[in-house]
Amino acid sequence: MNERMNERIYDEQRELRTQGVLSLLIHVEGVGNQPCVHGVRKPSRQPPCVHERMNERQKPIKTERSLHNMDEEFKVIDNYLMIRLPDEIDHHKSVDISAKADRYIVSKKVGNVVFDFERTTFMDSSGIGIILGRYKKISCFGGRVYAVNVDSRIRRILLLSGLQNIVEIME
């Protein structure tokens, strides 16, 4: 019973991420679409997203830092998008980081992405997803992905996940 519930939740979250990227790239507006709490547009035929079914106690709390300083964490320098990652990268932060990075990649037409891990002390699999997703988008245009200020923990995660083959880790 628990396995089926976990699989269903996983499938819903994966579908939410997929639809978020598609809606960002395609900008589908109009009939048949309704916004999710997080601004992701999805067809109305789909069940409500996981976040819409959460009660108020379960909803993630956004801090003042995550709301106001998010734009300061993204800078376009020449043909590079520099992303300063937060101290902890988990599922809730990864959704915002991915969406904002995708917007910058599309609107500013950057060719390369640089992830700055200077402040990052914790990263789970969603952080790997952020890197892998941006690599897939940038590599279509011949771009590259770089990681800078990587400490020993993050380096180990990148090596164990196999990302060192697609991400150039700068010393």
Q: Are residues 37 and 72 in the same domain?
A: no
Q: So what's the pLDDT on residue 163?
A: 94
Q: Are residues 82 and 138 in the same domain?
A: yes
Q: How far is CA 166 from the centre of its chain?
A: 17
Q: Are residues 16 and 70 in the same domain?
A: no
Q: Is the pLDDT of residue 120 over 70?
A: yes
Confidence of residue 2 (pLDDT cuts 50, 70, 90): confident
Q: Are residues 65 and 51 in the same domain?
A: no
Q: Is the pLDDT of residue 31 over 60?
A: no
Yes or no: say if 121 and 153 are a contact pair by the CB < 8 Å rule.
Answer: yes
Q: What is the largest distance, in Å, between two alpha-carbon atoms of the chain?
A: 52
Q: Is the pLDDT of residue 45 over 70?
A: no
Q: Are residues 54 and 78 in the same domain?
A: no
Average pLDDT over residues 30-53: 41
Yes or no: say if 124 and 89 are a contact pair by the CB < 8 Å rule.
Answer: yes
Count up the domains in the chain and report the number.
2
Residue 47's domain comprises: 1-59
Q: Are residues 101 and 158 in the same domain?
A: yes
Mean pLDDT over the full length of the chain: 75
CA atoms of 152 and 92, how far apart (whole Å):
24
Q: Are residues 91 and 121 in the same domain?
A: yes
End-of-domain residue from the set 59, 74, 105: 59
End-of-domain residue from the set 43, 59, 75: 59
Confidence of residue 162 (pLDDT cuts 50, 70, 90): very high
Q: So what's the pLDDT on residue 128?
A: 96
Q: So what's the pLDDT on residue 95?
A: 94
Q: So what's the pLDDT on residue 64?
A: 39
